[in-house]
Amino acid sequence: MAAATSTPTEFEENSNDDDKSEMNITNYLIVRPEKGGILDLLRYLVWADIGSGVKFLESSDEGIMGGEAADHRWIILVSIIVRKIISLLGKPMEYTGFVADFFLNLLFQNGGIMGLFLNFLQGKVVTPQRDTETFISTIGHLDGRIDLYRDENLLEQLDNSVSAEKIATEEIGNRALMDLCIMASKLAYENAKVVQSIVVQHWKMHFVDFYNCWNDFQKEMSTQVFILCDKPKDANLILISFRGTEPFDADDWGTDFDYSWYEIPKLGRVHMGFLEALGLGNRADTTTFHNHLQMKSTSFNHGYDGSGSLSSNTDSDMEENEWDQFSASEEGTAVGHKKFLSEKVKKTAYYAVRKKLKSILMEHKNAKFVVTGHSLGGALAVLFPTVLVLHQQTDIMKRLLGVYTFGQPRIGNLQLAKFMEAHLEYPVPKYFRVVYSYDLVPRLPCDDKTFLYKHFGVCLYYNSLYIEQKLDEEPDPNFYGLRNVVSAHLNSVWELIRSFVVGYTHGPMYKESWFMVFARIMGLALPGIAAHCPTDYVNSVRLGKERVVRMSSF
């Protein structure tokens, strides 16, 4: 009876002790390339000196550091070496990207080289202005297509669907929906004004918002995402698109090659860089991951009215309480600093998108939502519903139509994969991961026999002939070995040849720009990078043919 009549204060104290105990045993591993020197790297590389390797690692447990340094030496070495190189090239990459963007837009806005020359003679040269409706990203110049695939009218199909269940069963795997997702993933690389213009004027859809979100580890607004609906009233479809790895952003590429992970109890190990990109922690203070990822929101469990819609007690008041809860969890935080923390959390991708999504789902009672992204954006796209499940946002997840990712890196280990398969595979598959040929990024971070990092979901693999196969895992999952190197380079030669003829064989919309041809030439040296461009993903969706295996007759 004494236990049953414990005061609330005693209960809260015990709960706090349990939370602290759980936080203290939470495992993590951080790879820090800057911590060790060149000699340490050589000793670790040549003589397999574990003591030297451990210098590059930080962990919750010394045993984890020693075990990881020994068991996954080559994977950690790749992470250290590549990230050291990327770090050295960071500023040159940034300047190169700035010049390339300006030059490409200078040509584009003046009608090409001849147009620029004539405008120069007439004193009418158009100077590109960043963050305007006419300033196109590097990705946009690689592939200038902006219109959706029209053989099947997605909007008409959605309008004709009587129920959300019909949408879920008929639209998953539909080419028009996949095309919308890859085009939205490609569009996410553009600035807000370009995104809004294309969504409204070309796609004839409703633009909801564009977000520049805070990454506390990088200390900048480095995560971008936009939201659209198929129509402004009584929408059937809501789409969330995360921006991916930008070609000249060293931080983005460093994140892709990062091996660091954080272990969430009962869920598994999750890529730390992707958590930071969503605004769910900062490796400089690993307790921040616990504060975000152990939090359990019950507002949705009480807010669901049983009809597939969200009741009014899930609005901003609940969000404010949750943000205040996070701010209050920072021990020793002054009142003014708590307010700053709360405002900072509101600007992070996960919380900003989740708040808006709740609002839209309440407004559009019959709508379901799709999450998509290319490259790093694909990782964030699948991690977003993963955290929704962790936070017990059951009623949001009931409205999930699907997750479509393109060239997505791995986000966690086998335990995480098995956990999420239960939520994204049944009763029908909702997670489709599109991989093109020798694209390097889906093979990152590296996997091994212990399933260090593991993909899950349905893999739609397309080869360089755009033949589709449904697989559990893409071929050559780690991009290692002489055979893979030779075949990847031979394939890049074929892709270069194909770039000159695809416009004639499949129509003018598939003709590749001179800049894309230049990328193919560069791909002769780095085939896995050239294959990562969105161009081949758009082509795969539009031209892809399912591989048919014929059985021999007896």
Residues noted as catalytic: 375, 439, 532
Closest among 484, 494, 486, 473 to 536, alpha carbons compared: 494
What residues contact 317, with CB distance under 8 A and at least 6 apart? Answer: none
Cβ(101)–Cβ(190) below 8 Å = no
Say how far apart CA 480 and CA 495 lie, in whole Å. 21
Say how far apart CA 331 and CA 335 lie, in whole Å. 11
Cβ(161)–Cβ(352) below 8 Å = no
Give me the amino acid identity at 229.
Answer: C
- Report phi then psi at 264, rounded to 5: -95, 120
Cβ(495)–Cβ(531) below 8 Å = yes
DSSP state of 229: E
Cβ(349)–Cβ(242) below 8 Å = yes
Conformational region of residue 410, where left means phi above 0, alpha means psi within -120 to 50, and beta covers everything else: beta
Say how far apart CA 427 and CA 409 lie, in whole Å. 25
- Residue 94 CB burial class (10 angstroms; 0-12, 13-18, ≥19): middle
Cβ(38)–Cβ(305) below 8 Å = no
Token couple for 376: 């790093």
Q: Which helix (H) or strand (E) holds 213?
A: strand 206-215
Q: Which helix (H) or strand (E) holds 255?
A: helix 250-256
Q: Name the H helices within 392-438.
A: 394-397, 414-424
- Residue 81 CB burial class (10 angstroms; 0-12, 13-18, ≥19): middle
List, as own/partner pairs, every contact residues 359-365 make where C-beta atoms lie below 8 angstroms and the sequence separation is at least 24, other chains included. 359/315, 360/208, 360/227, 360/229, 360/235, 360/238, 361/238, 361/309, 361/310, 361/396, 361/399, 362/309, 362/310, 362/312, 362/314, 362/315, 364/229, 364/234, 364/235, 364/236, 364/238, 365/307, 365/308, 365/309
Cis peptide before 527 (omega within 30 of 0): no
What is the length of the chain?
A: 554
Q: In what order do the strands lie in the sheet containing 268-271?
A: 57-59, 28-31, 261-264, 268-271
What residues are paired with 28 via a beta bridge? Answer: 262
| Buried b / exposed e along 486-520 (16+ C-beta atoms within 10 A) | eebeebbeebbebbeebeeeeeeebebbeebeebb
